[in-house]
Amino acid sequence: MSDILIASEAGVTTITINRVARKNAITAAMYAAMADAIEEATTDAACRVVLIQGNEVIFSAGNDIEDFLNKPPAGSAAPVFRFLNGIATFPKPLVACVCGPAVGIGTTMLLHCDLVYAGDNAAFSTPFVNLGLCAEGASSLLMPHMFGYHRAAEALLMGEPFMAEAALEVGLVNRVLVPSEASAYAHAQAHKMAKKPLSSLVETKRLMKMGQQTQVLQVMKEEGATFGRMLNEPAAKEAFGAFMDKRKPDFSTL
């Protein structure tokens, strides 16, 4: 079965991350499939809302670390940047349903969603510093804006997970649900939205995002260039090597 499942029903396109054996870690091919689905949803008149989900126990372990080592994203046309740009500029409503761990881009992609529903088992984390990397997905701009600077600094500089209730408190999620009910609730909300006039949804979203859109894309470009450089530096090499060897990284000389 494919690692990314796409299904459409009554105006709602659902993208399901489905690589359970690897905790839904996302490879370049998976970013490409999701970027294609977002592009198609933009132009497909039958699509009115997109919903992104994992399953009841895992949203995503973030970028596949082996892929980072073997096929680091090269340039702005890399699938990961195509996906991030796609969700950052997606004109129609974007809904997410998150249960279990949402690591790295698993959390930062939510900053570009309009509605986020979480299971009470959701654990969000942005451990870029712990991997010798830096913030991505415009999180260096949007997290301080949404969370307040100090809470964003705790998430981005410490990289420690925060749970669903804390995510609700900072405004990252709209509602916390029992995991077995989260997907049905998120779908019900998406379908409710899909019945509203699309032009009103699109214009209202555009107006809400307008003030920050240029800055979001600028920050994402700067983050992407920095992230790309840092992927090849010693701290990231040590972190990825440690992950593959199942040991703690040693940053004492870095």
Question: Which residues would be at the binding site for ligand COA (CB under 6 A)?
Answer: 22-23, 25, 61-66, 101, 103-104, 127, 131
Running DSSP on this structure, what letter comes out for residue 26? B
State in angstroms the smallest separation of the CB of 25 from ligand COA: 3
Measured from the CB atom, the residue of 11 and 106 that comes closer to ligand COA is 106
Measured from the CB atom, the residue of 82 and 92 that comes closer to ligand COA is 82
Closest C-alpha to 73, from 218, 226, 217, 215: 226
Structure tokens at 113: 């969603």
Q: Is 212 exposed, middle or buried (0-12, 13-18, 19+ CB in 10 A)?
A: middle
What is the torsional sign of CA 66, 70, 75, 78? Answer: negative
Task: Compute the least distance from the CB of residue 223 to ligand COA, in Å.
Answer: 12
Residues 143, 167: Cα–Cα separation, whole Å: 11
User: In this complex, which beta carbon is closest to ligand COA, that of residue 41 or of residue 239?
Assistant: 239
Q: In the bound complex, what is the minimum distance in angstroms from residue 163's beta carbon to ligand COA? A: 13
Tokens of 96: 């997410």
229, with CB counted inside 10 A (0-12, 13-18, 19+), is exposed
Q: Which CB, 64 or 114, lies closer to ligand COA?
A: 64
Q: How far is the CB of 164 from ligand COA (least distance, A)?
A: 15
For residue 243, the minimal CB distance to ligand COA (Å) is: 7
Q: Which two tokens stand for residue 254?
A: 């870095």
Q: Nearer Cβ to ligand COA, position 23 or 48?
A: 23
